[in-house]
């Protein structure tokens, strides 16, 4: 069972990433990943022979997500057991957008300014250099560092586009 525990531990980063793509919320993703890990660990502890651990774990995660979405899409109960409307379909995208905006606000001002200019004007790097009076290399390096910090802040893998958080097809 120790080997299975080590194998499960090695899969946690990939599991958390998939959970993040599915839920678009760090806390919900952690809860979902933990649920899948506990489910698989219980099966291993019960003696079930799981030949291909990675696909089994990822499928368990997807199934847990489907159950959660199905349960949450019907009706959510409030603290006093009164029915509340389910979360609107656009809510995960809004939460992801809010998280990205907070991450941009936390960037160093020079990086945040360039990133906002890039996003709002659609200008290329040379145009940004002309608009800001900065050398092209400075614009390039600041935007590169800004994107790296942004990815880290929203738990995306290196070189993954931030739009992954908003893409329903990413699952």
CATH number at residue 165: 1.10.10.10
Contact 30, 169 (CB under 8 A): no
CATH number, domain containing residue 13: 1.10.1740
- Together in a domain, 112 and 68: no
Nearest to 12 by CA among 79, 76, 58: 58
Is 20 inside any structural domain?
A: yes
47 φ/ψ sector (left φ>0, alpha ψ -120 to 50, else beta): left
pTM value surpassing 0.85: no
Asked if the structure places residue 66 within a domain, the reply is: yes
Of 7-16, 47-56, 91-100, 137-146, the least confident: 91-100
Residues 64 and 129 reside in one and the same domain: no
165 shares a domain with 97: yes
Q: How far apart are CA 6 and CA 12, in angstroms?
A: 10
Q: What angle do CA 95, 9, 43 make, to 5 degrees?
A: 95
Q: What token pair was written down for 62?
A: 């997807």
103 and 65, same domain (yes or no):
no
Q: Is the pLDDT of residue 140 over 60?
A: yes
Structure tokens at 58: 């990822």
CB 64 within 8 A of CB 28: no
Task: Find, among 53, 73, 60, the residue nearest to 7 by Cα.
Answer: 53
The domain total for the chain is 2
What does the mean pLDDT of the chain come to?
Answer: 77
Contacts of 41 (CB under 8 A, 6+ apart): 4, 5, 8
Residue 95: domain span: 91-170
* 67 and 101 assigned to the same domain: no
Last-in-domain residue among 41, 75, 109: 75
Contact partners, residue 171, CB within 8 Å, separation at least 6: 18, 21, 22, 62
Region 88-104: mean pLDDT is: 64
Residue 49 has pLDDT above 80, yes or no: yes
Q: Which residues contact 152 (CB under 8 A, 6 or more apart)?
A: none
Q: Which of 67-76, 98-107, 150-159 has the highest mean pLDDT?
A: 98-107
Residue 80 lies in a domain: no
Strands (DSSP E) found in the chain: 76-77, 83-84
């Amino acid at each position: 069972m120790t080997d299975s525990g080590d194998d499960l531990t090695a899969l946690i980063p990939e599991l958390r990433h998939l959970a993040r793509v599915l839920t678009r919320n760090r806390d919900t993703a952690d809860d979902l990943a933990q649920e899948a890990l506990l489910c698989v660990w219980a099966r291993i502890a019960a003696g079930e022979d799981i030949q291909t651990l990675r696909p089994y774990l990822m499928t368990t995660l997807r199934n847990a997500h489907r159950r959660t979405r199905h349960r949450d899409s019907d009706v959510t109960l409030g603290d006093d057991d009164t029915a509340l409307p389910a979360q609107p379909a656009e809510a995960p995208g809004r939460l992801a957008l809010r998280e990205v905006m907070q991450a941009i606000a936390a960037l160093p001002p020079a990086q945040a300014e360039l990133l906002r200019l890039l996003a709002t004007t659609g200008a290329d790097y040379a145009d940004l250099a002309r608009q800001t009076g900065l050398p092209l290399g400075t614009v390039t390096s600041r935007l590169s560092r800004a994107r790296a910090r942004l990815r880290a802040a929203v738990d995306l893998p290196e070189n993954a586009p931030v739009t992954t958080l908003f893409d329903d097809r990413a699952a």
